[in-house]
Amino acid sequence: MSDLVTVVREPAEEPQGALVLNHGRGADENDLFPLLEELDPARRLLGVTTGAPLVNVPPGGRHWYIVPRVGYPDPDTFQASYALLCERLDALLAERGIGWERTVIGGFSQGAVMSYAVALGPGRPAPAGLLAFSGFIPTVPGWEPELEGREGTRIFIHHGSGDPVISVEFARRARELLRAGGLEPEYLETEAGHWLPPEALAPAKRVLLEAVPA
């Protein structure tokens, strides 16, 4: 394990909230940084991208956890990253005077998994919104989603039906689990593979604006 990295994009004025984006497997804190501008071009929000603490794992880059099987993160590396991510984000937001009720967290692939974990983790504060791109709600010992009390969290899920890395079935299961818990995620399924297509940006941007209104 290495240290967790955070990169901050300052807002244009006093921040109306925050947007946190977590990268996918093998990428780093710079990967989703341009997405901050796509989703929040007016810079209303404090923008934050993170760099996962697990390094020197094939095929390189940064990782949130080791993957013994898709959908089922390695418990030790997942729990270590989860604890560090929660601690670091809680401290950063507190330092900037921004509560989770004004924060949207999201990510791609492994970053989406970690965003689900932070947003839905037991005892965690409910965020304003969650953007899950090509990920899944993890199944891992010692962590269970807590859906009660999160009915106000705006959620957007995108997944490609042609994704060869993480099957679209994971997104469908996440949608049904959330619905069963009283949440109403907005769901978009495209023909994309394991990437974020342009057509997913407009609805994600709209959900972000609904979660943290201007």
Backbone φ, ψ for residue 18 (5° rounding): -140, 150
Domain spans in the chain, listed from the N-terminal domain onward: 5-211
pLDDT score of 157: 99
CB 144 within 8 A of CB 95: no
Q: Mean pLDDT by 10-residue block, N- to C-terminus, for the chain (214 residues)?
A: 92 98 98 98 98 92 96 97 98 98 98 98 98 98 96 98 98 98 97 98 98 96
pLDDT score of 58: 86
CB 119 within 8 A of CB 185: no
Instruction: Please give the biggest Cα pair distance in the chain.
Output: 44
pLDDT score of 56: 87
Can you tell me whether residue 190 is helix, strand or coil? Answer: strand
pLDDT score of 140: 97
CATH code of the domain made up of 5-211: 3.40.50.1820
pTM above 0.75, yes or no: yes
Q: Residue 59: is the preceding peptide bond cis (ω within 30°)?
A: yes
The H or E element containing residue 130 is strand 129-133
pLDDT score of 151: 95
